[in-house]
Structure 1
Amino acid sequence: MKQSLLVLSAANKVPLLHIIKQSVPNIKLIAGDISSNVISRFFVDDFWEMPLLKDLEIDYFIANCKNQNVKYIIPTREGELLHFARWKESLKKEDIHVMVTNAKGIAVTSDKLLFYQSLKKYGYPVIKTSLNIADIESDSYVVKERAGAGSKNLYINISKEEAIRISPQLNAPIFQPYIGGKEYSIDVYMMKNGKAKGAIVRERVLVINGESQITRTVIKTDLAKLVMEVAETLNLYGHVMFQIVEDIKGQPHIIECNARFGGASTLSIKAGLDSFNWFIRESNKQSICDMKFKSPVEQLTQIRYSKDLII
């Protein structure tokens, strides 16, 4: 029976499913989601309509994984990372492997205030973050939720007065100074030995509703080195993604880290960051330390757009 890889919260993540198929073509691909009415089910070998996370019991989950010969799991939603980080060791005992970092790493990366405090302690150039806007002196501000990811409840480049007015609408608002400049996303693969395998830097050329619609790879060895050091310091694992803004003076400011595969991270896989293949090899106790990673010399550009499937 062919081994299976389960993508959690598959929803409409069709580009992710395509890149996994290209990376590991000899594996059965299963999309999992709480709704059966998702488009991802049309692009995989099988579909699993799953219970809500709060109703998902580990014995039930393990039994269903074994029934479908699921050996590898890719969480894709911020809200499920900590849950599966806590289950990780129990699943490993059943020969089921999850590409997720440890619970401590998830706690740090999912809490923007804790992330700032942790990186500041080590002297990294992380953007100042506070619960109190009075702690921040800036011409304009960013207001966002303390936890979570994405563009929901994200307000950028607004006045102090507007930031104060908007913040009560958020569940747990945090404040940051707005820093203009070029935005970069950096994908990193962290090995089981705690070392970074490699990093790809992507320039966010066109961002709509918090998502990169046009992205291109760039050679920024300083940024790649910086985030690999940060990822090693935080003892992260698997595919993780950092966001950085480089100001007009060329100084980097680390904004946040999403300890998962990002929406436009498929570009980094195409550019040579072979995260899914590496994850499977490491899960099978195969060392990838001697496998060479080369940063792309040729610039690649990704354009994300809608496409029809007629069946």
Structure 2
Amino acid sequence: MELPFKRIFISGGAGVIGQEMTRRLAALDADIQVLVGDIKPRPADFPARFQYRQGDLNFLTEQEIGVFAPDLFIHLAATFERSTETYGFWEENFRHNVQLSHHLMTVQKDLPSLRRVVFASSYLIYDPALYTGAEVPEEPTSLRETDPILPRNLTGMAKLAHEIELRFLDTFRAAQFSTVAPRIYRGYGRNGRDITSRWVRMLLAGEEITVYGAESFFDYLYAADTAEGLLRLAAAETVTGLINLGTGRARRVADVVEVLRQNFPDLRATYVASAIPFEASQADMTAWSRVIDWLPPTTLEVAIPEIIAFERARQATIAADETTAARGPGHILISSLAAKVPLAQAVKHAAKRLNPGIKVVGGDLNPHALGFHFTEASWVMPITTDEHLPAIISHCQARGISRVIPTRDGELAFWSRHRAALAEAGIAVLVSAPEAVHRCLDKLEFAAFGMKAGLPVIATSLSIDALISDQPNADTAFVVKERHGAGSLSLGLNLPYAAAVAHAQTLQEPIFQPFIHGREISVDGYLSRAGRVHGLVARTRDVVVRGESQVTTTIHDPALVARLTPIVEKLGLYGPFVLQALLTDAGGLHIIECNCRFGGASTLGIAAGVDSFFWFLQEAAGADLRDFPFRPAAGPLRQVRAATDVVKEVKSEKL
């Protein structure tokens, strides 16, 4: 089979059908580029050359997918439950079926690159009165594309809604891209959630299976055949609208049990009567056969042994898989949260983009920390000292916390010193190596390192006299600050010699720097685990209050970014950082200091494209950040930090 497409975006590509599809695409033309988006982690055997975006695709942006520029979109992503949908499925179906399908077409419908859309719909759209009843069916009903529709459940409703949306878009965009919606029948496959795979797992464990509606007919469609059929349908660009995809040869549930018995001679089964109506459906494949010279070939007799072999091979990893599943999606701890409300909100937003099940836990010594009102759970933590490390690890593991974001200078050394032990316990920490942390916390060491590395750092000394070669004159001015801690605290700025010496007497461990006239900027950035700058944006400090930017504006200056990038990469940092620097009228660049953590006003950096927390979560999940490139904002942005009142419902905050 040949595909007339080179850039393919697959939503839900980590599912049963999606994995079969990516394997087929990997075996085709080496020039084919594939981007898979899925809320689940990247599968272990996912083709290495394909891009993988883990996260909630409801947050996929037009800019992000526009950079990939797909010419084919195959929409597999969906959520579903078993035969009877639960009350809690109400919201899940809307978000991950109705809203997701609408959103994914919203961000792609105007892309010049898009030529073809294949939407995996469902036979659940047909009126169940056509194929269900209280009596044992004698034969299956062949459903045609023209038969009456009445969605059987919420999932069917969501599929029908998007079919209609695609029909609407076809009215306006038919000349740009074609759409087709195959109505897929009863799916099953390797590593599936379907009843066939569940029965195989139970039988391998020596358990008895329970059989409901043994006399019902279903058109069982093997996932490998579904993937093949969807790709063939994608290639047939003139085929549009609605079309059935099944085998056209329904089998009874009892047939599935019999094939299982052939492979498990000691099979034990209990047959149970059910109030659920009998089903007897199969696809009428007449329309398909007219346009596609291929029919799904795989029978239950062929597919079930393949599923059994897959599950047997998987036995060695089941315990590890179950342990991972029991831990949940991996919650996040923000330590020393205090009143860092914008930071907490930024972390929550990043977490929801990755997986809506992730919870953000606020940690602080203060039981009344303001930030606790803005996280899903709170923890009054012990102080971050070495003797409390076992208790901190134990608490994190018990609460399913697998990622930690430190936010205070005073705790960075602790988290950095123990990051290896925490990693062994399954906890990733957003912190640099100890030597890099030490350099950033000690301004004298930072300047010495910078001088040695040839960086444009400002000269720094414990002695003011070491900064001058002659007697100071009236034009000589100095900056005096504490060697450790926030540089803005007790800062003496633009002081003459005598005043600088006097001010130093008020500090615990003063250091001196020459005062340089210039425009002070902050630089927000993120360094990957490989030590490479993944995103960087500079901003002016327009209004500064207690050392933090109350009003700050981004600078669009590619030359400055290019100049800063190699400088930052020499610092040996990991994760978010805030660099303070001066720009002189003559074009000079002078580095003041660097904070190796997320800054107070760094939320502007996120808005400008430095997606620090999302990138950290992706790296912690094992992703390659090349799949999540930096996309700077198109123009300057200004952030104004102002107090605001928040009214919230009172609810449980336990994790």
Equivalent residue, structure 1, for 2:615: 278
Alignment of 1:177 onto 2:514? yes
Alpha-carbon distance between aligned partners in 2 of 1:99 and 1:87, rounded to the nearest angstrom:
12
Asked if 1:244 corresponds to 2:581, the answer is yes
Aligned to 2:456: 125
Long gaps (5+) in structure 1: none
- CA distance in 2: counterparts of 1:31 and 1:150, whole angstroms: 26
Length, aligned pairs only: 311
Partner of 1:291: 628
Question: Does residue 1:223 correspond to 2:550, yes or no?
Answer: no
- Match of residue 255, structure 1, among 592, 595, 598: 592
Measured in 2, the distance between the counterparts of 1:192 and 1:271 equals 21
Distance 2:497 2:350 in 1: 47
Structure 2: distance between partners of 1:221 and 1:163? 37
Counterpart Cα distance in 2 of 1:198 and 1:55: 33
Higher mean C-alpha deviation, range 195-204 or range 284-293: 284-293
Matched residue, 1:233: 570
Deviations 1:104-151 (A, max 9, x none): 101111111111111111221111111100122462111111111252
Spell out the pairing of 1:10-89 with structure 2 (5 A cutoff): 10-25=337-352, 26=356, 27-54=358-385, 57-89=388-420
The residue identity in structure 1 corresponding to 2:591 is I
What is the rounded CA distance, in whole Å, between the counterparts of 1:126 and 1:55 in structure 2? 33
Q: Is residue 7 of structure 1 aligned with residue 7 of structure 2?
A: no
> Is the CA contact (8 Å cut-off) linking 2:581 and 2:593 kept in structure 1?
yes
Question: Aligned partners of 2:622, 2:349: CA distance in 1, in Å?
Answer: 22
Q: Following the alignment from structure 1 to structure 2, what is the Cα–Cα distance between the partners of residues 232 and 69?
A: 33
CA contact (8 A) 1:186 1:224 kept: no
1:149 aligned to 475, 486, 493, which one?
486
Q: Which amino acid aligns with 1:9?
A: S
Bigger relative contact order, structure 1 or 2, given CA contacts below 8 A and separation 6+? 1
* 2:546 paired residue among 191, 198, 209: 209
> Could you tell me which of 428, 436, 445 is aligned with 1:105?
436
Structure 2 gap ranges (5+)? 1-327, 469-474, 649-655
| TM-score of the aligned structures, taking structure 1 as reference length | 0.96
Contact 2:579 2:593 in 1 (8 A): yes
Displacement of 1:249 in angstroms is 1.4
Aligned to 1:200, which of 511, 526, 537?
537
Rounded to whole Å, the distance in 2 between the matches of 1:139 and 1:278 is: 45
What's the offset of the Cα at 1:285?
Answer: 1.3
- Corresponding residue of 1:94: 425
Q: 1:10 to 1:56 in 2, by over 3 A?
A: farther
Contact 1:198 1:228 in 2 (8 A): no
Larger mean CA deviation between 37-46 and 1-10 belongs to 1-10
Distance of aligned partners of 1:35 and 1:15 in 2 relative to their CA distance in 1, 3 Å threshold: same
Find the residue that maps to 2:592 and give its secondary structure.
Answer: strand
Q: What do the CA deviations read for 1:62-115 (whole angstroms, capped 9, x no partner)?
A: 100011111111111011111110110100011100000000101111111111
Given that 2:385 and 2:414 are in contact with CA atoms closer than 8 Å, whether structure 1 keeps it comes out as no
Offset at 1:231?
Answer: 2.6
157-166 or 79-88, larger mean C-alpha shift: 157-166
Distance in 2 (alpha carbons) for counterparts of 1:104 and 1:223: 27
Structure showing greater Rg: 2
Q: Are residues 1:115 and 2:446 paired?
A: yes
Letter paired with 1:6: L
> Quick check: which one's strand share is greater?
1
Separation in 1, partners of 2:461, 2:540? 27
SS in 1 for 2:418: helix
Residues 28 and 150 from structure 1, CA distance in 2 versus in 1: closer, same or farther, beyond 3 angstroms? Answer: farther
Q: Which residue of 1 is the match for residue 605 of structure 2? A: 268
In structure 2, the CA distance between the partners of 1:55 and 1:100, relative to structure 1 (3 Å rule), is: closer
Matched-pair contact (CA < 8 Å) for 2:415–2:431: yes
1:308/1:221 CA distance change after superposition, 3 Å:
same
Aligned twin of 2:190:
none
Return the alpha-carbon distance in structure 1 between the equivalents of residues 402 and 564 of structure 2: 30
Aligned-pair identity in percent equals 37
CA contact (8 A) 1:227 1:242 kept: no
Give the SS at the match of 1:57.
Answer: helix
| Matching residue's letter, 1:13 | K
Task: Indicate how the Cα distance of structure 1 residues 131 and 151 shifts in structure 2: closer, same or farther if over 3 A, else same.
Answer: same
CA distance in 2, matches of 1:66, 1:24: 18
1:6–1:73 Cα contact (<8 Å) kept: yes
Moved more, 285-294 or 222-231: 222-231
CA contact (8 A) 2:360 2:375 kept: yes
Worse-superposed segment, 49-58 or 138-147: 49-58
Post-superposition offset of 1:163: 1.0
Q: Aligned partners of 1:132, 1:288: CA distance in 2, in Å?
A: 44
Q: Is the 8 A contact 2:346 2:613 kept in 1?
A: no
Using the size of structure 2 for normalisation, the TM-score is: 0.46
